[in-house]
Structure formats: C-alpha cells, structure tokens
C-alpha cells in the first residue's frame, strides 16, 4: 500500500448524528452511513473521517467517550463498523476514526475508578489537586477545575466537567491508549483524526497552559507514532487549536515522526477576537495572506485544508454570500481551498453549499457550548441570538438534506432548500463542482504537490495564486465580490475550471499553462 497516499487524497467528514438515519429514531447511525457510501464514491473522495460513535453519555455529542472499544447503541454495533470498513474498502475508500485522547467521559471506567479514592491505582491517570493549582477556565464555560465530593479534591476538565483530562505524564495512560489504537488498526481502520491532540501535555504553572503545547507534547507524539502509527501506511491528522505555523511544522514534518498533518486554526480565527462570540470584520487580504503564510511556512510539513467541520459555522455563510450568490460563492470557496497545497477536507453538506442553520430561538439549539455561553452571557437577548446564528456549532450540525423529506430529527433542519437529490445530476451544481475539483487533484500532480505563490496579495476582491510543478503552472483566480471584476491576469491557458474573460460575481477560474520563469501577473 502506498505509504503517503494522503498527499493526493481528499477526505470527507461524516458527523454521524446528522448524516443518515436508517432506523427512523431521529438520530443518524452507522447503517445510515453504510447506506450512503455511493454518495462518497460518486464524489470521488479517498477517505472518510468518521466523528465519534463510541459509547458516550453524549454530553458533547460523543466527544465524551465512556468506552473506546465499542459502539454506542444510538449509532449501531461493532458489526456495523466492520461492515462499514468492508463497504468502504470495496470502493477504495479508507476509514479515518476520530479519537479523543485528551480526555474521557466522567463515566469511563478509568475515571470512575480514579475518582473513587485517593489511593485508587487509577488516581494518577487524571489530574487531581486538593486546591486548584491555577485559574484556568474551561473552554466550555466556568472553571477548568471541578471539586469532586467523593474525595474533596479537584480534577481538571479543559472542556465540560463531564470530560475529565487524562494525565499523559503517566506511562500507563499512554500505553493503554496506544494499545486501544492498535486494536482499531487491527480491525482495519486506516488512520486517525486526533481530537485536540496539542493539549495532551500541559504546563500547570502557565496561566495560558489550558491551551496545551506543554513541554512534553513532541515526546508524547513521537512515542504514539512508534507505538501505534509507524509502518502501517496510515493517515494521522491532529486537531491543534492555536498552533503557530512553526508548531504545525514541528508536528507534521515527516522526519520528526509525529503526525502526517494538523488542522491549523488561524484562518478560522481571523473573524473574531479571542472568543468567537466577539466578531470582528475580516478582509480578503487578511484571509488569503494567512493561507499563504501557512503554505510557505510549513516547509517540509504538510497542510490540511478546510473551511467547514462540525465545530465551525458554514463557510458559505461565513466567508461567501449565502443569499443571491450562494451557488457561485460556495463554488469559489471550494476552488480556492482545493487548489492550495495540502489535503482538503469536505464536511457533510459543504459539497451542496449548505448554509448556517439560521435557528430563530434558543429552544432550537442543542450544543452545550452554545447553551452554556447563552446562559452565562450578559448581552441583550437579541444580540445573543444573532451571535448564535453566526457562530454556534449547531449551524453545521443540521441533518444532511438527501431529498425534500423532513423526517423527525434530534435537531431542526437548516433553513435551506438544497438537497443531494436535486444536485446529483445537475452539471452546474455545487456538488458537480466539488466532484470536478476532487478529480482535478487526482489527475494533475501540480494540484497536490505544486509550489505555491500568492499574487495580488493586497487586492480586496481577487484571490489569485499559482501552483507550479514539473513545468506545469496552474493559475487560480477567484472573485470574492458581488461585482464583475477584470483581474488583469492572463486567461489564455487551458481552461480547467470556469470561463475566460472578466470574472462575474464570485466566479473563479483555473487555467493550466507551461510554467514560465516570469511573474504571470506581468506575462
Ligand atoms: C474538539 C472537537 C469538538 C469537541 C472538543 C472536545 O474540538 O472537534 O467537537 O467539543 O474537541 O472534545
């Protein structure tokens, strides 16, 4: 098996709760995913990243795992996972599991034991202190330290109090996790997406230490690589909020043997201050220059490329125009993302140009992060609801609209009209555009491997860049405005995407030519 298959791959993320519901209980499930695999092969993706389906009290939609080696009855059985692996592999698609190694549910037997007694052998699998050793906040509101009545000590929870942080300094913790990962690999999975992996090493003395990147991060990752990943031809992608380009390079440079790539957050942090509930305007130059810095700064590391996932609002609402120019802007966002260097990720519904949920009232929201913030914030009601409509994670957690039917669901449908059924055979659809971009990556080596150069860095409307590889130059030009623009760049190459001439509102174009040494802007 090719070792580095992920360099030319496109990954599709399924968040199983809202993907496809096979038994009509209102919650998506694994048999639902199995029933929709033709959608994935039709798109042409290489791998499926499946968000957590393990047994869980579902406080944080499954990111609070109470058994790493099982399946929550809500989602199905282990047999379903085996069938899913078989169904994917039969279509040449790999399976990447989502693994939450920074914390467990407070119902995980390890924590149940750990909290039972200060002398319990698993006491030091988690962080326990008789007084909070710092004043870290929880990222889901309130304090990161929870007093546990059983022993009168505090434990650490970076997220909800039902998500207790594992103490990775304990080698037994690391061994247990590595063993569990090997168990899944032996079952046939092809890689892992590692939840908040940059937080596994903590500097308790540091007031900002709750953001991770502690002193042993790289040591822990290298050990995990040796113990679980090495030599298996896997793909590993780490979720690394707040990583700098340099930190991302250290984690993804192949010779360091840590991870294959990480999810940077810089581009999804530019439209707000410290928290996403505090928005600031974002200019196109800021956004594209951030991408360019990562393209260049990662060196021998590797980029992951994404707009959407289960934690982010929908890109077409956030960076595009989800009104009049929804189709064109969804396509253009996809064009620029997929033409960068790295491994693109497509989150369910993104390939349709889905927009934010647009929920009207607080009773429509389900996510604990949103509900906690709503409860704690002093802002006026209308402002809070407006901010939820903009930034809540529920915006992208609505059911996948396969067709016009609106079966009962655990969360409402997005206020939206797109469906897979309507787009499947429409050559002008957003879906058809994603298909085209994915095929392009597989067919033209410059898309995956080419050198990157940003053009017109300060232009407020045009996002343009070249990718150059083995004598081939791709020129990508995209109009990020609602007006027709003549970008003043050549359009004489072989047209791969879009049309020649001035760019209409939110239109994008990709052309291929023989590489020239001169700056194409002046060619
Ligand atoms: C990651 C997940 C998010 C979850 C959090 C805690 O950021 O993507 O959904 O809430 O970690 O596990």
Q: Whose CA is nearest to atom 4 of ligand 1?
A: 63
The segments of the chain whose pLDDT lies below 50 read 1, 522-523
Q: How far is the CA of 195 from the centre of ligand 1 (A)?
A: 6
Distance separating the N- and C-terminal Cα atoms of the chain: 42
Q: Which of 140, 196, 240 to mutate to test the pocket of ligand 1 (most atoms within 8 A of CB)?
A: 196
What digits encode the pLDDT tens for the residues 224-267? 999 999 999 999 999 999 999 999 999 999 999 999 999 999 99
CA distances from 54 to 15, 86, 249, 289 (A): 13, 19, 31, 39
> Residue 198 has what pLDDT?
98
Q: Whose CA is nearest to atom 2 of ligand 1?
A: 195
Measured from the Cβ of residue 405, the count of other Cβ atoms closer than 10 Å reads 8
Contact 476, 510 (CB under 8 A): yes
Q: Which of 192, 311, 372 to mutate to test the pocket of ligand 1 (most atoms within 8 A of CB)?
A: 311
What's the count of helices (H) and strands (E) in the chain, helices before strands?
Answer: 15, 18
Q: How far is the CA of 502 from the centre of ligand 1 (A)?
A: 42
Pocket of ligand 1 (CB under 6 A): 60, 63, 100, 159, 195-196, 239, 310-311
Q: Whose CA is nearest to atom 9 of ligand 1?
A: 311
Contact 169, 203 (CB under 8 A): no
Q: How far is the CA of 137 from the centre of ligand 1 (A)?
A: 16
Question: What proportions of the chain, in percent to the nearest 5, are helix, strand and coil?
Answer: 35, 15, 50
Distance CA 217, CA 209 (A): 12
Q: How far is the CA of 505 from the centre of ligand 1 (A)?
A: 36
Sign of CA dihedral 445, 448, 452, 454: positive
Contact 243, 267 (CB under 8 A): no
Atom of ligand 1 nearest to the CA of 241: 7
Contact 30, 365 (CB under 8 A): no
Domains 109-164 and 450-522 equal at CATH topology level: no
Distance CA 340, CA 333 (A): 11
411: Cα separation from own chain's centroid? 21
> Residue 1 has what pLDDT?
44
Of the CATH numbers 3.40.47.10, 3.40.50.720, 2.60.40.1180, 3.30.465.10, which one belongs to the domain with range 450-522?
2.60.40.1180
Closest CA to 258 of 233, 237, 232, 240: 237
Phi, psi angle pair for 225, to nearest 5°: -60, -50
Q: How far is the CA of 63 from the centre of ligand 1 (A)?
A: 6
Sign of CA dihedral 29, 35, 41, 46: positive
Contact 415, 394 (CB under 8 A): no
Contact 368, 58 (CB under 8 A): no
Beta bridge partners of 445: none
The CATH class for the domain spanning 2-104+171-359+392-438 reads alpha beta
Atom of ligand 1 nearest to the CA of 311: 9
CA distances from 190 to 4, 75, 233, 238, 338 (A): 12, 20, 8, 15, 22
Tokens of 271: 């439209």
Atom of ligand 1 nearest to the CA of 100: 12
Whole-prediction pTM: 0.97
What ranges do the domains of the chain cover? 2-104+171-359+392-438, 109-164, 450-522
Phi, psi angle pair for 147, to nearest 5°: -75, 125
> Residue 471 has what pLDDT?
96
- Return the H-helix or E-strand segment holding 95: strand 94-99
Phi, psi angle pair for 166, to nearest 5°: -75, 145
Closest CA to 157 of 139, 169, 170: 139
> Residue 521 has what pLDDT?
52
| Catalytic residue IDs | 195, 239
Q: Whose CA is nearest to atom 12 of ligand 1?
A: 63
Atom of ligand 1 nearest to the CA of 158: 6
The CA angle 451-488-329, to the nearest 5 degrees, is 75
Kindly compute the dihedral angle of the four CA atoms of residues 443, 448, 450, 453, in this order, to the nearest 10 degrees.
120
> Residue 522 has what pLDDT?
45
Q: How far is the CA of 428 from the centre of ligand 1 (A)?
A: 35
Distance CA 432, CA 42 (A): 10
Contact 153, 130 (CB under 8 A): yes
Closest CA to 94 of 103, 102, 85: 85
Tokens of 192: 């892992």
Q: What is the CATH number of domain 109-164?
A: 3.90.400.10
Q: How far is the CA of 61 from the centre of ligand 1 (A)?
A: 9
Q: Which of 54, 60, 241, 370 to mutate to test the pocket of ligand 1 (most atoms within 8 A of CB)?
A: 60
Per-residue buried b or exposed e for 208-227, using 16+ beta carbons within 10 Å of the residue's own CB: ebbbbbbeebeebbebbbee
């Amino acid at each position: 098996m090719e070792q580095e298959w992920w360099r030319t791959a496109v990954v599709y993320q399924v968040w199983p709760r809202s993907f496809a519901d096979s038994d009509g209980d209102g919650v998506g499930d694994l048999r639902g995913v199995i029933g929709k695999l033709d959608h994935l092969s039709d798109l042409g993706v290489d791998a499926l990243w499946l968000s957590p389906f393990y047994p869980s009290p579902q406080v944080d939609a499954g990111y609070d795992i109470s058994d790493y080696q099982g399946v929550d009855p809500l989602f199905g059985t282990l047999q379903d996972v085996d069938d899913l692996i078989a169904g994917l592999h039969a279509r040449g698609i790999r399976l990447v599991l989502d693994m939450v190694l920074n914390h467990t549910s407070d119902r995980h037997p390890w924590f149940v034991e750990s909290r039972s007694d200060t002398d319990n052998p698993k006491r030091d699998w988690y962080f326990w202190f008789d007084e909070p050793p710092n004043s870290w906040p929880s990222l889901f509101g309130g304090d990161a330290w929870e007093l546990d009545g059983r022993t009168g000590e505090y434990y650490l929870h970076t997220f909800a109090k039902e998500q207790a942080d594992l103490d990775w300094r304990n080698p037994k913790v690391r061994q247990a996790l590595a063993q569990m990962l090997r168990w899944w690999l032996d079952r046939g999975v092809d890689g892992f997406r590692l939840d908040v992996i940059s937080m596994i090493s903590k500097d308790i003395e540091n007031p900002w230490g709750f953001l991770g990147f502690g002193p042993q991060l790289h040591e822990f990752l290298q050990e995990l690589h040796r113990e679980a990943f090495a030599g298996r031809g896997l793909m590993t992608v780490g979720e690394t909020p707040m990583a700098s380009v340099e930190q991302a390079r250290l984690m993804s440079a192949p010779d360091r043997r840590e991870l294959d790539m990480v999810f940077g957050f810089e581009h999804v942090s530019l439209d707000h201050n410290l928290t996403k509930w505090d928005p600031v305007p974002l200019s196109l130059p800021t956004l594209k220059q951030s991408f360019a810095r990562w393209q260049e700064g990662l060196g021998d590391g590797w980029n992951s490329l994404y707009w959407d996932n289960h934690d982010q609002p929908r890109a077409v609402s956030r960076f595009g125009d989800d009104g009049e120019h929804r189709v064109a802007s969804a396509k253009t966002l996809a064009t620029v993302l997929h033409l960068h260097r790295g491994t693109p990720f497509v989150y369910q519904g993104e390939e349709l140009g889905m927009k934010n949920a647009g929920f009207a009232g607080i009773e429509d929201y389900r996510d604990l992060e949103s509900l906690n913030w709503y409860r704690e914030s002093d802002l006026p009601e209308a402002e809070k609801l407006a901010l939820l409509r903009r930034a809540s994670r529920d915006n992208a957690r609505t059911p996948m609209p396969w067709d016009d039917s609106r079966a009962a669901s655990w969360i409402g449908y997005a206020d939206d009209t797109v469906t897979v059924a309507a787009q499947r055979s429409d050559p002008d659809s957003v879906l058809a555009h994603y298909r085209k971009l994915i095929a392009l990556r597989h067919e033209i080596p410059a898309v995956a491997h080419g050198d990157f150069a940003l053009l017109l860095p300060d232009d407020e409307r045009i996002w343009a860049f070249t990718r150059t590889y083995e004598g081939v130059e791709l020129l990508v030009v995209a109009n990020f405005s609602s007006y027709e623009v003549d970008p003043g760049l050549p359009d004489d190459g072989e047209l791969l995407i879009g049309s020649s001439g001035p760019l209409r509102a939110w239109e994008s174009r990709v052309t291929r030519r023989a590489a020239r040494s001169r700056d194409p802007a002046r060619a």
